[in-house]
Amino acid sequence: MKYRTIGQDPATRRTVSVLSLGAMNFGSRTDEQTSFAILDRYLAAGGNFVDTSNNYAFWVDGTQGGESEALLGRWRRSRGITDEVVIATKLGARPLAPSTGFSRHVEGLSAQVIRESAAASRERLGVEKLDLLYAHIEDERVPLAETVTAFGELVAEGSVGLLGVSNHWVWRVERARALAAAAGLPGYEVLQYHHTYLRSRTDIPTLRSADGNLGAAGGELLNYLRAEPGLALVAYSPLLAGGYVRADKPLYSALDHPGTTARLAALATVVKETGASANQVVLAWLIGGEVPVLPLVGASSVAQLEESLAAVDLELTADQRGLLDEAH
């Protein structure tokens, strides 16, 4: 395994494995026995960066979420896990009532919600301190200063370590970080967005915004990260839910543009040269790029996890990386 430090403050920064494990379906679509087996194998391989959220996975059984956090809490207790595993969770997108579909009726990012939801996550996970807490989605109903202050207070009192942000417009991330700095508060240091080798269109309206997809890593976000090397990018859905390797998993509409054809051709060339799978090449490209990325992978079996783990040791040559980078 390879590792990277996230966070800049010596009091809160953590060293995490470059491959993060997503626990979204643990405790719902992925049963407890299988989930425990995947977590055990990840830990044995040196993995120590597990991702969840307080709303996972409400859409499976029509709940408000919490199944994933609760399972991770049971796993921690059964294995005697303390602080050797960094568990990241999120708040803000938990539905206000049991639901099976995504809607705008979610808890949001008010000071009250942040405090109450963080406490509930700590209870489900069985921890006194959340290692990394993300603002899951934007909440334009609440002043940014209120959200920033509420998150900062949790860090100050020791109930949260690092702060992160997901699925926000870049300008709002920068404004929130500026507000935190001006107030002498800790700000967002870990950014979680959808990012993969294929470039996704970001102009297509979504449920969250008529202006486009604020959850996909576009050129503006990547440029921001180059200018702010102290920030870390965690890339969710880097393997497109099997879209790179399974014919029955068609690519989604945001990838339907000419650049996809060129990049798939480059990817196929590197796959042939390395003998690795397309998934492994994509993960290796993300991990070793100019803007280093921490890919967040899901797994419904130990075998799926093994494929991703093998990508950590895959070293692309300069020519291979150049071919992949320059395809457009």
What pLDDT, in 10s, does the model give residues 296-306?
999 999 999 99
Contacts of 163 (CB under 8 A, 6+ apart): 132, 133, 134, 135, 151, 152, 155, 186, 187, 188, 189, 190
CA angle 288, 291, 293 (to 5 degrees): 60
Spell out the domain ranges in the chain.
3-252+293-315
Cα–Cα distance measured from residue 314 to residue 276, given in angstroms and rounded to the nearest whole number: 8
- The predicted-structure confidence for 122-136, as pLDDT tens digits, reads as follows 999 999 999 999 999
Tell me which of 3.20.20.100, 3.30.450.20, 3.90.550.10, 3.40.190.10 is the CATH number of domain 3-252+293-315. 3.20.20.100
For the chain, give the percent of residues with pLDDT over 90. Answer: 92
Locate 80 and state its tokens. 């005697």
**Residues 46, 52, 53, CA angle at the centre, nearest 5°?**
165
- The pLDDT, as a whole number, for residue 204 is 85
E strand intervals along the chain: 3-6, 14-17, 20-22, 49-51, 86-91, 130-135, 160-166, 190-194, 232-236, 293-297
Report pTM: 0.97
What does the DSSP 8-state code read for residue 198? S
Q: What is the dihedral of CA 76, 80, 84, 85, to 10 degrees?
A: -10
* Average of per-residue pLDDT across 198-207: 88
**Which one, of 239, 30, 236, lies nearest residue 136 by Cα?**
236
Tell me which residue has tokens 């099997």: 242
| Mean pLDDT value of segment 35-61 | 98
Quote the CA–CA distance of 7 and 196 in Å, as a whole number: 23
Across 184-208, average pLDDT: 93
Looking at residue 65, what is its pLDDT?
Answer: 97
State what percent of residues in the chain have pLDDT above 70: 100
pLDDT at 205 over 90: no
pLDDT digits (tens, 9 = 90+) for 83-124: 999 999 999 999 999 999 888 899 999 999 999 999 999 999
The predicted pLDDT at position 203 comes to 87
Residue 112 CB partners (closer than 8 Å, separation 6+): none
The residues near 170 (Cβ < 8 Å, ≥ 6 apart) are 220, 221, 224
Other beta carbons within 10 angstroms of residue 225's beta carbon come to 21
In this predicted structure, the answer to whether residue 157 has a pLDDT above a threshold of 80 is yes
The 3-class SS string of 148-169 reads: HHHHHHHHHCCCEEEEEEECCC
3-state secondary structure of 265: helix
Give percent helix, percent strand, percent coil of the chain, each to the nearest 5.
Answer: 40, 15, 45
pLDDT at 295 over 80: yes
Q: What is the C-alpha to C-alpha distance for residues 164 and 6, in angstroms, rounded to an integer? A: 10
Task: Tell me what the mean pLDDT of segment 282-291 comes to.
Answer: 96
Sequence-ordered list of residues with C-beta below 8 angstroms from that of 298, at least 6 positions apart, any chain: 21, 22, 24, 25, 304
